[in-house]
Amino acid sequence: MTSSEHYDSQYDLIYDDLSVLNTYDLHKPFTSNPSSPSKSYWLIYIHGGAWRDPKQTSRTLVPTLSNLSPSSYPIAGIISANYRLSAYPGHATDPSKPEDKSRNATHPEHIQDILTAIRFFQDKYRFGEDYILAGHSCGATLVYQVVMGSWKARKREDQDDNTPIEDSLKLPKAVVGIEGIYDLELLKKTHPDMLIYKTFLETAFGTDQSKWKDASPVNGKLHDKWPSGKVAVLAQSKEDELVDWIQTEKMSDALWREKKTGRRDIVVGLEGKHEDVWRHGKGVAKAITKALEMLRDA
């Protein structure tokens, strides 16, 4: 257990025993916002890393913590979750091995891990739907996949195969996508001469690109699948050198197309390159605080 300025932190807690990467970090505030104790929200954060980078973990949220003061914002607790990664045998310092089940995941195993984690967190911390789900890069893909409602958490011992996702977990009040990938096919088409994009997309989602469409949040039926949603945030920097602004534009169009009365959607401009947004903490914090402010005013 370690502590920061605002939070008492615990690292590498376990939400599932499926693999060594089914873990999370917990940050509980030392103080809370006394002006609105009944309006506090939990934050669940999902890291990026192209579904495969072992150096991108739950710890990437740590720089953000100093910019999220629970005395200024109604934060009841923060969770940063890990999940199984796809294969990366060519990584320079930590290549994946075929026998490592924590680093050979393919879709939909990443999203199943996230859904399983959320269900565990709701059972343990009892926050119901009073939470914000935020993610960076492919973590943004995952958080919007959650509210697409097309996949289920892994079955519990007391749960049969026909139990729908809505019966096993409650969807968030707000979703925050930061520098996100929302259209898989478009990402590959935007970078036709860069093999790395084709490689990590096929490693995570397979070579049959006809299936990428179903996995892309731009094609989600959010009006039907996320009726409880109050706020949808898309945050992007025009200095991002890895994920293009057109991804945010396409997702913004999709949100408008799937607009629900009572849900507020916004695009938030950030500064810095792709990794700077989380590495310096201010970009991620800006996107999350915008969601908190919009929930307060909802």
Q: Which residues are marked as active site?
A: 137
Decide if 250 contacts 183 (C-beta within 8 A). Answer: yes
Tokens of 191: 């970078």
Name the H helices within 104-155: 109-125, 138-148
- CA dist., res. 129 & res. 112, Å (int): 18
Taking phi over 0 as left and psi of -120 to 50 as alpha, with beta for the rest, 294 belongs to alpha
> With contact defined as beta carbons under 8 Å apart, do 268 and 233 qualify?
yes
CB 42 within 8 A of CB 73: no
What is the spatial distance between Cα 137 and Cα 135, in angstroms, rounded to a whole number? 7
